[in-house]
Structure formats: structure tokens, C-alpha cells
Amino acid sequence: MRVYGATLDEETRCVHFSGERDIVAILVPCCSRYYPCFRCHDEDADHRLERWPRSAWGEPAILCGACSATLTIATYLEVNRCPDCAAGFSSDFAVHAPHYFDTVSANLRAAA
């Protein structure tokens, strides 16, 4: 799966978020491309980032950078680790989720 933006390694870390657990890329609905973060999208695209509506949270749109598994948005919003390889996901999730997902009144996973 190709990941766009300023990636630093094969686990999808980017120049903006390069911590040990910053290992997901998100398929953004506005351009159907995977990006490691909203900043990478904004630097690469000529349009505003579109968020995933709740009605589309069953879509496979999250790429685990550790094992390349694809998770549905709903699964990603519920877990702290990849269900396939158990790699941990960033604890900064709640801060960044509103950039990607319509999170109004959603129960977001707790920090890992």
C-alpha cells in the first residue's frame, strides 16, 4: 500500500509524528490516498482534508505500519493495538482523531 506524505520509514512514521507508536496511515476520503497524518495531507494535497462521517466507520481505512493490516475505522477507534500483530498505537489518538473522523458524541478509545 502506498503511503503519501513525508514518511520517514516503512512503518509510516512521518516528519511530523515519529514516535515509536506513530505507526498508522489513514485513507482520507477526499483523495483516496493513505497519509500518516493530517499535516502530510495538507502539505501534499491542493484541497482541505475531508473527515470520515460516522456512517462510513465500517470502511477499511486504517493501515497498520507494523504489519500492513487494514482495519475498519470502527475497529481502530476501539483498540489501542493492532488486532493482527499487537503493535501499539499512539496514545495521542484522542487529540488527533477529530482531524480524520466525525467524532462528535463518539466514545473514543482511552489512551494506551
106, pLDDT greater than 80 = no
Q: What is the pLDDT of residues 16-64, one digit of tens each?
A: 999 999 999 999 999 999 999 999 999 999 999 999 999 999 999 999 9
The C-alpha cell at 51 is 473527515
SS3 assignment, position 46: coil
Q: How confident is the model at residue 112 (pLDDT cuts 50, 70, 90)?
A: very low
From the CB of residue 110, how many other CB atoms can be counted at a distance below 10 Å? 9
From the CB of residue 13, how many other CB atoms can be counted at a distance below 10 Å? 22
pTM of structure: 0.89
Domain boundaries, the chain: 1-112
3, pLDDT greater than 70 = yes
